[in-house]
Amino acid sequence: MLTYATKRSGEVRDEPEAIKANARLLLGRLAAGETFSPEQISSIDVMCRALDQHYGREHRPIKTAEDFKAWGDVPEPRQVPPDQPGAGAEDTISRAAAETTEWPDKDGNTVRALRPDQHLIDYAPDEYRGVNPRDFSIGRAVRAHIVGSWRDAELEERALGTGVNTLGGFLTPDALALNIIDLTRAKSVVFQAGARTIEMPAAFLTIARLLTDPGIEAPGENQAFTEGSMTFDAISLSARKIGRWIPISRELVEDSPNAAEAIEAALSDSLVELIDKWCMRGDGTSTYGGIVGITAHDSVQQIDVSAAVDWDDLLDAIEDVHDKNAEAGAWITSPGQSIKLAKLKVNSEANHYASPPPEVTALRRLVSTQCVDGQLYLGDFRQVLFGVRKGAQVEISTEAGDAFKKHQVYMKIVLRGDIGFARPDHIVRLINLS
């Protein structure tokens, strides 16, 4: 969901299509010869910055009408079938749509770094046992297994082949479980903020990380350049397992016409909760390393507010990101802190709410129950790298635990991956917000 506020009215608009329509309207008025005031240009820059950051595109500041004209055309949404991952998503605005980033590893394998608007299923094989993985539904397969009839899931039965049995359940092949990961990425707050997905060709993957920039100088005539250097280290991704098991009532699945969709939602929601918790709360010791963990021993910036939160705190964090020659794209906080910011008032006057400054409205605002209450994370979340070793594996069983006695089915989803940070100093953690 994309949000921005106009400088004139403070009106919040939540639909990307509405904002894009407004951009088209303004471009048309500009082409017709209308002139805009500096205040209008400033509001246009906020609008365009929000769109650029929503689609993961570098924003070039708009200071003049010519800058706005050069900003470019806004294309129509992608036409994606409603039952496919990415349905309802929209293409990057035309001017500088980035291609998929690909690196060869030492063994010649291709390592892809995918933006949030790109999908793992797009790189799946065209066929697996005669089935297109894009057409496979884990929800239909689980329901068919539970009710004991594959009449409405012939495609899934053919794809699973000998993996289907009547006692222990089945295990989904990796190529057939990518839809679940894409659905998880679409729901995850961290991915909505800009986190990238790294395909891991092996259990361990090392990626170079730039620690210090080389620095540029301009010596005078006949003066020598001084020696510069760039400092690198490595991000080491190690495939670890995360997952959850879920008991399911057989009666509910048998009697519910939307059981397949509900099963897939339950699986993806479980992964969303775990991944967002991992990325934000992971302390690097007893759990996976996240923003909380790397603050202690790495270069994530931290601001100890120790006071009631206000918009100045976010502006300070934006300044810290800018000081690292970076551009913030989003901020994430807990539901409680989000409401406290929304309740800020001008001179404590009733119903006179203080609108956030343009620098804040230009960022994507996200709320998550996995964010530590009393904290807020702001920055360039494209620096968050989520390594995925294989597709999510889903197993079901009618015999595990107490499933047989309770006439239930146990469903387990397991994903192997890791979290890394390319430039941790491009993220700021605000703590002790009251």
What's the confidence (pLDDT) of residue 298?
53
pLDDT category of residue 91 using cuts at 50, 70 and 90: very low
Average pLDDT of the chain to the nearest whole number? 78
Residue with the bigger pLDDT between 420 and 215: it is: 420
Compute and round to an integer the Cα radius of gyration of the chain: 24
Upper half-sphere CA count for residue 426 (Cβ side, 13 Å): 20
Model confidence over 258-274: pLDDT tens digits? Answer: 888 888 888 888 889 88
pLDDT at 189 over 90: yes
pLDDT at 105 over 60: yes
Model confidence over 201-257: pLDDT tens digits? Answer: 888 888 877 766 666 778 888 888 777 666 777 788 888 888 888 888 888 888 888
What's the confidence (pLDDT) of residue 110?
78
Token representation of residue 333: 């906080």
Once rounded to an integer, what is the mean pLDDT over residues 101-128? 79
pLDDT at 429 over 60: yes
pLDDT category of residue 401 using cuts at 50, 70 and 90: confident
pLDDT at 109 over 80: no
Q: Torsion-angle region of residue 206: left (phi > 0), alpha (psi -120 to 50) or beta?
A: beta
What's the confidence (pLDDT) of residue 170?
65
Token representation of residue 170: 């089945």
Which segment, 93-97, 106-110, 130-134, 315-319, is predicted with the most confidence on average? Answer: 315-319
For a pLDDT cut of 90, what percent of the chain falls above it? 18
Token representation of residue 233: 């280290």
Once rounded to an integer, what is the mean pLDDT over residues 26-41? 77
Once rounded to an integer, what is the mean pLDDT over residues 388-401? 81
What's the confidence (pLDDT) of residue 307?
92
Long-range contacts of 127-133 (CB under 8 A, 24+ apart): 128/159, 128/173, 128/175, 128/176, 129/158, 129/159, 129/161, 130/158, 130/159, 131/155, 131/156, 131/158, 131/159, 131/176, 133/175, 133/176, 133/178, 133/179
Domains and CATH numbers, the chain: 1-98 (no CATH), 109-189+204-211+230-282+392-418 (no CATH), 292-382+426-433 (3.30.2320.10)
What's the confidence (pLDDT) of residue 284?
62
pLDDT category of residue 100 using cuts at 50, 70 and 90: low
How many residues belong to the chain?
A: 434
Q: What is the DSSP string of 317-353?
A: HHHHHHHTT----EEEE-HHHHHHHHT-BGGG-TT-B
What's the confidence (pLDDT) of residue 430?
92
In which element (H, E) is residue 198 found? strand 196-199
Q: Please name which of 245, 214, 218 lies closest in space to residue 230, comparing C-alpha atoms.
A: 214
Secondary structure of residue 205 in the 3-state scheme? strand
pLDDT at 385 over 80: yes
pLDDT at 177 over 80: no
Once rounded to an integer, what is the mean pLDDT over residues 24-45? 77
pLDDT category of residue 88 using cuts at 50, 70 and 90: very low
What's the confidence (pLDDT) of residue 144?
85
pLDDT category of residue 192 using cuts at 50, 70 and 90: very high
Torsion of CA 181, 182, 183, 187, to 10 degrees: 100
Q: Checking DSSP bridges between strand 364-367 and strand 330-333, what pairing results, if any?
A: parallel
pLDDT category of residue 286 using cuts at 50, 70 and 90: low
Once rounded to an integer, what is the mean pLDDT over residues 134-146? 83
Q: Is the whole model's pTM more than 0.75, yes or no?
A: no
